[in-house]
């Protein structure tokens, strides 16, 4: 095996920390770059004794120089609560972050992967969504800072590739869940689990009939690795997600069942521009990467519930 020097931006975040851990297990040298807006040191503290791991506090909005073979550009708040907290900063992270990392890739001749999102499809008018679909995105809504920022980042990646022959990869990540999610990130799986474990009311926005396809983190990490290591002529974009579609109400009931919770479901108004249906077409990922998700929803939810349950127990003990 050839040991690579790999930079992971947003490396202390939910996805980034899992990726750093896997790359180290493969024997690579990993540079974890994070400004800790949504990243969490607890996610990567166990890696810091590894001589091949280096943590760097830095914001991708500012230029950064390092010798590296590969770059995974994951830096950006990904939940509505966090990316709407400072929408201008979110846009800067997507756009300036892409420019700075692409500039670095050009300078050191590194291969670079952009973690894009299913949000580039907006509230889709085709179902399931394939990579040829251009999307239905509101450019001036509350979610636009994230949706449009990620679309702009994809544009930058393609233009750097065409104009400067940068080796790029673009993946579009669909709803992902698992251990190391922030308890307060506002995403539906973590919200429901926390509410269920504490026997609070489970809050559904809308009537609960809207659908999502939920992917466990381990499946996503394999998709990231397969994409980075795929042939240079395959640049994407490619959907990485689970094709099993569930209503939000079904998800809430499943989590109540798995946690033996006494929580009741309550309904609140649906936020603006919230997609009503979301499901990936993964034919391209299957064909080009030989990738498909392996972990079903119940198995993944049990692992995630166990993580949050242990986290609560640990926090309760520390308070005592």
Tell me whether residue 85 is one of the annotated catalytic residues. Answer: no
Measured distance CA(128)–CA(133) in Å, rounded: 10
Which helix H or strand E contains 145, and what residues bound it?
A: helix 144-164
Report yes or no: 82 and 37 within 8 Å, Cβ to Cβ.
yes
Which helix H or strand E contains 34, and what residues bound it?
A: strand 29-34
Report yes or no: 8 and 72 within 8 Å, Cβ to Cβ.
yes
Length of the chain: 320
> Which string of DSSP letters, residue by residue, matches 250-313?
HHHHHHHHHHT----EEEEPPPTT--S---B--HHHHHHH-------HHHHHHHHHHHHHHHHH
The CA–CA distances, whole Å, from 156 to 96, 117, 152, 163, 309 equal 10, 15, 6, 10, 41
The pair of three-digit structure tokens given for residue 142, joined into one six-digit string: 């509350």
Say which of 72, 83, 121, 146 is annotated catalytic: 146
Report yes or no: 29 and 1 within 8 Å, Cβ to Cβ.
no
Q: How many CA atoms lie within 13 A of 288 on its CB side?
A: 24
Residues annotated catalytic, as ranges: 146
């Amino acid at each position: 095996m050839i040991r690579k020097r790999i930079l992971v931006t947003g490396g202390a975040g939910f996805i980034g920390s899992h990726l750093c851990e896997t790359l180290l297990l493969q024997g690579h040298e990993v540079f974890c770059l994070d400004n800790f807006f949504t990243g969490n040191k607890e996610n990567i503290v166990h890696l810091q004794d590894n001589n091949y791991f280096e943590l760097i506090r830095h914001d991708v909005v500012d230029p950064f120089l390092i010798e590296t073979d590969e770059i995974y550009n994951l830096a950006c708040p990904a939940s509505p609560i966090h990316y709407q907290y400072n929408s201008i900063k979110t846009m800067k992270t997507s756009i300036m972050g892409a420019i700075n990392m692409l500039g670095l890739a050009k300078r050191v001749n590194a291969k670079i992967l952009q973690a894009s999102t299913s949000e580039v499809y907006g509230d889709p008018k085709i179902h399931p969504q394939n990579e040829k679909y251009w999307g239905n995105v509101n450019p001036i809504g509350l979610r636009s800072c994230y949706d449009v920022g990620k679309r702009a980042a994809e544009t930058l990646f393609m233009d750097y590739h065409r104009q400067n022959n940068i080796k790029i990869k673009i993946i579009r990540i669909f709803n992902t869940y698992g251990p190391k999610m922030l308890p307060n990130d506002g995403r539906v799986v973590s919200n429901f689990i926390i509410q269920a474990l504490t026997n609070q009311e489970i809050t559904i926005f809308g009537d609960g009939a809207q659908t999502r396809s939920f992917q466990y983190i381990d499946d996503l990490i394999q998709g990231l690795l397969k994409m980075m290591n795929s042939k240079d002529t395959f640049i994407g974009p490619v959907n990485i997600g689970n094709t099993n579609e569930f209503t939000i109400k079904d998800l809430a009931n499943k989590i109540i069942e798995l946690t033996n919770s006494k929580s009741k479901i309550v309904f609140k108004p649906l936020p603006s521009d919230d997609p009503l249906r979301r499901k990936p077409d993964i034919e391209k990922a299957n064909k080009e990467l030989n990738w498909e998700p392996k972990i079903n929803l119940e198995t993944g939810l049990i692992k995630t519930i166990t993580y949050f349950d242990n986290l609560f127990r640990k926090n309760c003990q520390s308070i005592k």
